[in-house]
Structure 1
């Protein structure tokens, strides 16, 4: 890889790492798995970086690599991990409400399928449009809408989520359909 191309890739990684890690954590439910997922995605992107740079949207290309790597990771899992609220050792009392909220969100996301989880994370936690999510997942907007509807229905049935508002940047316009 040329020196300037490698510098471009390094700049890309530095600017995207925090957001990718946050989203990967929401997708995997574990910080260490999230780091592994982002690193695996970036390793694949590094090999193809010269080609990726020439695309219209390198950011979407790398995000799609990460999402596909997560789906592949879940397919390969022979023994699934189950999140639990019980630890083998006693813990200090937790007085921070944000930790409890984060735990509730991660537990709720863990109950969804990989595709539903990806759609919810991208739509509501990353505040992306249906079109962007469809492009990142390589599916149609209708598929994104159906995954969103099923995921939200499942979360509501389990009383884990209040009625979500549309993402702030993507409020419904007159005559437009909404999931």
Structure 2
């Protein structure tokens, strides 16, 4: 039996983990096209380093770390081109299920967080990473992760207090 080539291994990795990486990128960017661009940029880096990564698990960890770092980098470059608005536009009178309304309100609140705060919230509560893992992925200290988490949760409490209950340890209930 022949061993798969590196190209075949990379293709198998993209097939297996690509949609998960795009979901992660979408939660950061809140835009499908930007998420796809972000993942494509990161997968280019993964492909160039594939021979050094050794295994799909290492490649996945590298790709996720690269997504968060690349996103923060993109935000730094583009933040001066965005025009902030005071309030989100009113939605038309469509009738939504309560859970959908809550999800949209929480999404809007997440969008108002700074990129690093959003990344920390997603790592800690969406991906269920501990402080040290989040710090390693973001390339910062555990103290930075803790302070960013504290600030982000405080802002989320202010933005959507009626939707999100946060426990004393900062966990979302």
TM-score by length of 1: 0.78
Q: Which aligned runs of 4 or more in structure 1 are off by greater than 6 angstroms?
A: none
The 8 Å contact of residues 127 and 167 in structure 1, kept in 2 or not, is answered as: no
- CA shift digits 1:128-156 (9 cap, x unpaired): 22222111111222221111111001111
Over the aligned positions, Cα root-mean-square deviation in angstroms equals 2.7
- Matches of 2:58 and 2:117, distance apart in 1: 24
Query: Compared with structure 1, are the counterparts of its residues 57 and 81 closer, same or farther at alpha carbon in structure 2 (3 Å cutoff)?
Result: farther
Query: Which aligned pairs between 1:1-179 and structure 2 lie closer than 5 A?
Result: 4-53=5-54, 57-77=58-78, 78-80=80-82, 84-86=88-90, 93-160=94-161, 161-163=164-166, 166=171
Alpha-carbon deviation of 1:74?
Answer: 0.7
Give ranges in structure 1 of 5+ residues lacking alignment. 169-179
Alpha-carbon deviation of 1:15?
Answer: 1.6
- Matches of 1:102 and 1:36, distance apart in 2: 25
Residues 47-56 or 119-128, more deviating: 47-56
Number of aligned pairs? 164
- Matches of 1:42 and 1:81, distance apart in 2: 30
- Matches of 2:16 and 2:136, distance apart in 1: 21
The 8 Å contact of residues 106 and 160 in structure 2, kept in 1 or not, is answered as: no
TM-score by length of 2: 0.80
Higher relative contact order (CA 8 A, sep 6+): 1
